[in-house]
């Protein structure tokens, strides 16, 4: 994505600036409504009240918290493999918390997004959370089922995963067929190496885990701060358990009413808008490698990505930057405008030196890949598995071709990479879950929904829609760039979030920061 001292920034600094990549664009969409909302009872403060029949022991389990360094405490909870079959066995849910530093009022569960982001890793940086939150709550991060340190989804080994994430498939009949074959083989490997858990990693099951954790933590109501995909998780919880919903803040919201195909189109438009903002900013500087006007600059980025398919960009490591990796390297920097300088650096290297080291580094950050070819997490495996467990996009090839054309017309720079989303669950080994929650979450207390006006991954219109869909939704707007707002924007946002979570002060609907 040449400055005088290339790579002066240490990897840790880059990773910090790009930490929003954990909030991967959540591409899940609501499954079809086929069954009624389950009534699991009322809460009166007892941990096991409201537990579905046969699952009482999970709600009443005693969590054994141990010191895991630097003031953190860790525990492992037991959850049922299937919330529809108490006899199917159990899995593990990993937890990490920052104990309240002051008068504790309860627990605050957090989810960083994905799907596939690790809540355990997320709470590892306490500075993400305001002092009032750290004082009043045990801030509890958890890895959802299938993710990270919880019982994980497993698919390929590192070498196979690396190939899967870097291989290009041309948008031809043969290329699309090869892509379908690759996805089919990936799904088979996931089924073989994960087992029946693969059919139980849907968002509703994760939301039921959250209610179980609420009980095990001893809380009468669930307080929750969710980002990106975490907003889908929080909205699902509220729809399942409105009477046990406490104070929820959903930042970087998904529109739970959209089909997967609509998600792909609108997300492509979001990245196009963010890229336009980046190019506009870049071209105000004399060291910007993008020449001409903004449209010309966007076309130069498009040419770099497109040309990497027939002519992969060489690097000093011997690895080439394929089109897929070039897309990742550009896209990752759109999550936070603080990362734009790294994209400029990478583009300088490509356009001036013909090398792709910096662009490859950014792609590896996106994919959580280490320099030695290992991976820091199973975020890719979990991302695909959870999305396929939640819903399926249109799989008819003619329909996908038309949608791909619509996406490219709306987002010409990178839009091609968002097309044919129906292929991503080709012959998935398990069916999508049936919807069992009320999208309006009728009966829930106020739910604060935050949208950023030029968010690429979760476009602002999604926050507007979610706030309207939720019967008690309250919309807060951050006027700015990047993905999500709390912890990376301004005091107006942090005050609104913290005053609600700690004091219960509901921000004015329509508040703009």
Residues composing the chain: 513
Beta bridge partners of 73: 67, 97
CA distances in angstroms from 21 to 54, 240, 330, 344, 460, listed in the order given: 39, 29, 12, 18, 18
> Taking a C-beta distance cutoff of 8 angstroms, is the pair 478, 336 a contact?
no
Q: Among this protein's residues, is 455 annotated catalytic?
A: yes
> Taking a C-beta distance cutoff of 8 angstroms, is the pair 425, 182 a contact?
no
DSSP state for residue 415 in the 8-state scheme: G
Residue 404's SS3 state is helix
Strand pairing report for 245-251 and 222-227: parallel
Which of 43, 228, 417, 472 is catalytic? The answer is 228
Which of 273, 472, 483, 489 is catalytic? The answer is 483
Q: Among this protein's residues, is 483 annotated catalytic?
A: yes
CA separation for the pair 285, 343 (Å, rounded): 14
Tell me the residue ranges of DSSP E strands in 350-484.
Answer: 447-454, 473-481
CA-closest candidate to residue 344, choices 357, 355, 330: 330
Which of 166, 455, 472, 489 is catalytic? The answer is 455
Tell me the residue ranges of DSSP E strands in 228-364.
Answer: 245-251
Report helix angle 158-166 to 173-194, nearest 10.
Answer: 150
Give the count of alpha carbons within 13 A of 252, CB side only.
36
Residue 303 CB contacts under 8 Å (≥ 6 apart), including other chains = none
Phi, psi of 203 (to 5 degrees): -65, -35
CA separation for the pair 20, 407 (Å, rounded): 24
Mind telling me the catalytic residues? 228, 455, 483
């Amino acid at each position: 994505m040449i400055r005088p001292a290339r790579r002066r920034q240490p990897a840790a600094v880059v990773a910090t600036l790009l930490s929003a990549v954990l909030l991967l664009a959540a591409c899940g969409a609501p499954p079809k409504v086929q069954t009624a909302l389950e009534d699991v009872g009322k809460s009166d403060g007892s941990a096991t009240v409201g537990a579905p029949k046969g699952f009482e022991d999970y709600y009443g389990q005693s969590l054994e918290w141990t010191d895991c360094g630097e003031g953190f405490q860790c525990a492992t909870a037991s959850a049922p493999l299937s919330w529809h079959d108490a006899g199917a066995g159990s899995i593990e849910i990993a937890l990490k918390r920052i104990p309240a530093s002051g008068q504790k009022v309860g627990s605050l569960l957090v989810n960083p997004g994905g799907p596939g982001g690790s809540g355990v890793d997320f709470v590892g940086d306490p500075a993400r959370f305001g002092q009032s939150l750290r004082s009043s709550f045990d801030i509890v991060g958890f890895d959802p089922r299938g993710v990270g340190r919880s019982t994980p989804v497993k698919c390929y080994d590192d070498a196979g995963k690396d190939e899967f994430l870097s291989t290009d498939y041309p948008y031809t009949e043969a290329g699309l067929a090869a892509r379908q074959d690759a996805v089919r083989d990936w799904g088979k490997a996931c089924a073989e190496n994960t087992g029946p858990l693969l059919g139980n990693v849907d968002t509703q099951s994760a939301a039921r885990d959250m209610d179980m954790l609420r009980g095990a933590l001893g809380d009468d109501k669930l307080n929750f701060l969710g980002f990106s995909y975490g907003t889908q998780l929080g909205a699902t919880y509220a729809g399942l358990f409105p009477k046990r919903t406490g104070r929820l803040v959903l930042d970087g919201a998904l529109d739970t009413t959209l089909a997967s195909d609509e998600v792909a189109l609108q997300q492509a438009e979001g990245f196009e808008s963010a890229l336009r903002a980046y190019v506009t900013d870049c071209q105000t500087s004399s060291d910007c490698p993008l020449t001409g006007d903004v449209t010309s600059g966007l076309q130069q980025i498009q040419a770099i990505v497109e040309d990497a398919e027939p002519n992969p960009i060489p690097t000093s490591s011997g690895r080439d930057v394929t089109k897929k990796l070039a897309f990742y390297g550009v896209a990752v920097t759109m999550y936070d405008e603080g990362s734009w300088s790294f994209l400029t650096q990478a583009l300088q290297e490509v356009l001036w030196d013909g090398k792709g080291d910096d662009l490859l580094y950014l792609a590896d950050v996106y994919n959580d890949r280490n320099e030695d070819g290992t991976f820091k997490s199973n975020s890719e495996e979990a991302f695909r598995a959870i999305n396929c467990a939640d819903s399926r996009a249109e799989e008819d090839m003619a329909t996908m071709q038309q949608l791909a054309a619509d996406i490219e017309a709306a987002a010409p720079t990178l839009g091609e990479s968002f097309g044919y989303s129906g292929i991503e669950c080709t012959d998935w080994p398990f069916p999508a879950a049936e919807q069992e929650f009320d999208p309006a979450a009728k009966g829930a207390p106020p739910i604060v929904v935050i949208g950023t006006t030029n968010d690429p991954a979760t476009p602002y219109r999604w926050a507007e829609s979610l706030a309207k869909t939720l019967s008690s939704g309250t919309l807060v707007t951050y006027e700015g760039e990047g993905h999500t707002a709390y912890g990376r924007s301004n005091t107006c946002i942090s005050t609104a979030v913290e005053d609600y979570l700690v004091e219960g002060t509901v921000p004015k609907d329509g508040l703009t920061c």
